[in-house]
Structure formats: structure tokens, C-alpha cells
Structure 1
């Protein structure tokens, strides 16, 4: 399996996806046309054009999956798939309604088609949607996502700020609550970081701040870019659904 999972698509002072240009180029080496899934935003055409402008610099054509009467037909012939960021609930609901959850997962798992996700698209690679930061603006049929990795990811992970006057829950507190109800690792990907999977190897890349791994009953563990996280691919994603 070949995955590139970005925490974010935009970085301060950089153009769209520019902070990850080199790793994206390597991930898509040999790909002539990319199938883009724009459902996380309302403006599908505008979103696709934005991705196409970036990919043009890599010599990769882009086609929006929304342009076909039967999106599954485009998935079946795709050389690579990129699911962009936006609202994860809207994205998953759209994928479910179009029969694309199974279609994309099968192409990536069984045919080795490269998959790339950013933010909400990275959430889609997890077993479920339940570690997203997004507001549930729509209701999907279930929280089950593509399951391309057996652990959860929290994109845009923010560390607690002891100087902040904000009295709401920190990201750490929310993930701790998740682990009170679910026994599955959660990797908090800070801005500018990504995961790259090739077969059974999984590596953390990006900026120096790296990522933070949360597991039930243990203190969070810090990982720097270059860390080998392959052991997470053997994690057992067991969901208790005690509040369901």
C-alpha cells in the first residue's frame, strides 16, 4: 500500500501544498493523471482547479471525481487518488452516498493505487471519523471511513498553551476522552507534518515539531521527523462503542 497523509495543505507564507512539494512529487512519481476528490468543500470545481494548478508544476494532470455521472467508474481507472481537506463529515457523507468508500479502499489496498490525503482526506484513511476536529454540519450514515491504516490520526494537532485564557478543552483532553471509550492509538499530526506508507513501512516526515502518539493508559509519546512508525500498522483497531 502506498499512502501520503498530510496534516495540512497550506502553511504560513507558502502556497497551496508547497511545504510538501518534494514528498508529493516522490509519492506521485510515474503518475500522469490524478483523480481528485473535492467533496469536503462546497465549490467542487474551484477546489479541483486549485489542486490542478499545483499539480501542473509536477507534470500531473488532475480530474475531479465529481465530473463523472458515475464517480466509481473514474475510481476504477484512476492512477492515483487525492482526497482534499475541508469538512470531514460532509466528505464522508458524500463518499458514502456515491459508493466511493469501498471503491477507493479497494483500489488502494488491492491494486496498489497511490493514495494522498490532506486534513479531512487524512481522516478518511483511518478506521473511523471520530478523531476529526470538524463540526458535524451533516450526518453521515456511519463514522466508518476507508480504514487504510489501523490507527486513528488527529490532523492539525495543537499542543496545550499554558498562557492561553481559553477555558475550553484542549486537543489533548479531547483525545484522552476518546481513549477512555476506545482502545486504539491516536497520532496527533502537528502542522507541517505527514505520514508516508510504503508497503508495511511507515515514516513520519515534515517539520521539526513532529507528532504525538496517544495510547490508552499511557503518557503521550513524542516522535520527530524521520521516526519509523511501522509498528502502528500492526495496531488492533478495537472500538468499544460504549456510548453508542
Structure 2
């Protein structure tokens, strides 16, 4: 992303629910900040691979936003999904399977409209898979590739990749498999962009050309060829918005 490209008003959340809280409750303050002055929201439920319908998933989101006086409609409720995005006050993409989500975004021709609307300042909110697709690619998702996607190129609303639900190795664990850190290091053998590991409860807030880490926990940042770095909420992470 070059400095003359300003993507405004993003809220990228690691997860929709943390232990002991209801849907989006842990992010209430930031959600209200993102949607200040808005009365409606377009929900994109495309990430659900099965087990819950688009209708039921939208109903879950609708219930959460009602208490904040935000009216929610699902993109699947419109005959023209592109028109729905173009006319939306704000967009929220929920979690699920990142591969299913990205395939559906391309199939419904929503990638470019979403990019254009966000460039013009439309609020965008994502959780989990919805946060994954805000990055440069989906190459650091934790999800299984249960469907084929024509490209890993995502919405590219930010010039880095995101690893939601980031987990640290468990001390004294006898698990001998790969850690998240190992997998991200493998990603960096073939890709240059930074990766930020968002632990549960953490989120990124981008307003204009400024970025900040929100939530109770530090985030782990990975740069190609360098040791991972820890950043606490309030630390300067502005370098993540520089072009890579």
C-alpha cells in the first residue's frame, strides 16, 4: 500500500466471541466507534461452510447489533449483491472458513466493490475469516482448504497478512507438531509481507492512515528474516501500513 492510498475505518477482530462473553460483546466499544453515526449494516455470511444457513447466521448478527440500534440485513437477501455493497452504510463479514468465504466473494463479484467502498471510507468490520480476507492474502489462515479458490489474493485492505486466533506454544506440552510460529516462518520463505498474530480478544483499528492494537493482549508480529516481535496495545505499529 502506498502512502497516497488511505483505507479508512476498519475494525479487524480476531474472534467474535471470547470466553465468558456473548457474540461481539468484548468488542462493543470499538464496534460503536466504528459505526458512529450509522444506522444500518450489511452482513456477509458467506464464510459458513455448512451447519448454519445464511439466514440463521444473519439472524445471530442481527440480534447482536439490535442492542446498539443498528439494523442488519444479509447480502443474500438482495437480488443484486454488488448493488447491496455499493449502497451499504457499513459492512461486516463474519467468521467461518476462509476458503469458502473468499470463493464466495469472488463468485459474487464483491471483491472490487468492497475495495472501492472501503477506499472511500465505508466502515468495514471483520471477525476471524472476515479479518483474514482483509489482508493481502489468505495464506496465513488456520482453516482447511475445503474448497478450491482461484487465487489466494484477498481484499488487500491492509498491506499485511493476519493470523487470527494466534496461539502460543503451551509450556511443557508434549505436542511435537508445528507451532503457529513455525507455520508463519514457512510462509515467509515464499512471501514478503508482514504477518500479525492476533490473540483472542485482540483487534486492529485502522482510522485514516493510522493503525492501533486494541484489546487486552499483546500481538505477535512476524517480518521476513527477523525474529518475532511483541507489541502491546498502545505500542506504535504504524510500520505495518508501509508498503511491502
TM-score range, shorter chain: over 0.9
Deviation at 1:227, TM superposition (A): 2.1
**TM-score, with length taken from structure 2:** 0.94
Match for residue 236 of structure 2 among 228, 231, 237 = 228
* Aligned equivalent of 1:55: 65
* 8 Å contact from structure 1 (residues 2, 114) kept in 2: yes
* Aligned equivalent of 1:132: 141
Per-residue CA deviations over 1:185-227 (Å, capped at 9, x if unaligned) read 10000000000000110000001x2100001111111001122
Per-residue CA deviations over 1:155-185 (Å, capped at 9, x if unaligned) read 0000112322222211010001111111111
Once the two structures are superposed, the pairs formed by residues 208-223 of structure 1 within 5 Å of their partners are 209-223=217-231
Distance (whole Å) between structure 2 residues aligned to residue 227 and residue 100 of structure 1 = 34
Q: Does 1:5 align with 2:12?
A: yes
RMSD between superposed Cα atoms in Å? 0.9
Deviation at 1:235, TM superposition (A): 3.2
Distance (whole Å) between structure 2 residues aligned to residue 78 and residue 35 of structure 1 = 6
Deviation at 1:140, TM superposition (A): 1.2
**TM-score, with length taken from structure 1:** 0.94
* Count of matched residue pairs: 234
Q: Could you tell which deviates more after superposition, 131-140 or 160-169?
A: 160-169
* Aligned equivalent of 2:202: 193
Per-residue CA deviations over 1:62-119 (Å, capped at 9, x if unaligned) read 010011121001001000000001100000000000000111111111x210000001
Question: Structure 1: where are the runs of 5+ without partners?
Answer: 237-244
Once the two structures are superposed, the pairs formed by residues 13-28 of structure 1 within 5 Å of their partners are 13-28=20-35
Query: Runs (4+) of structure 1 moved beyond 2 Å?
Result: none
Q: Does 1:107 align with 2:117?
A: yes
Match for residue 30 of structure 1 among 37, 48, 65 = 37
Q: Does 1:144 align with 2:153?
A: yes
Distance (whole Å) between structure 2 residues aligned to residue 106 and residue 155 of structure 1 = 24
Higher relative CO (Cα under 8 Å, sequence separation at least 6) belongs to 2
* Aligned equivalent of 2:3: none
* 8 Å contact from structure 1 (residues 201, 229) kept in 2: no
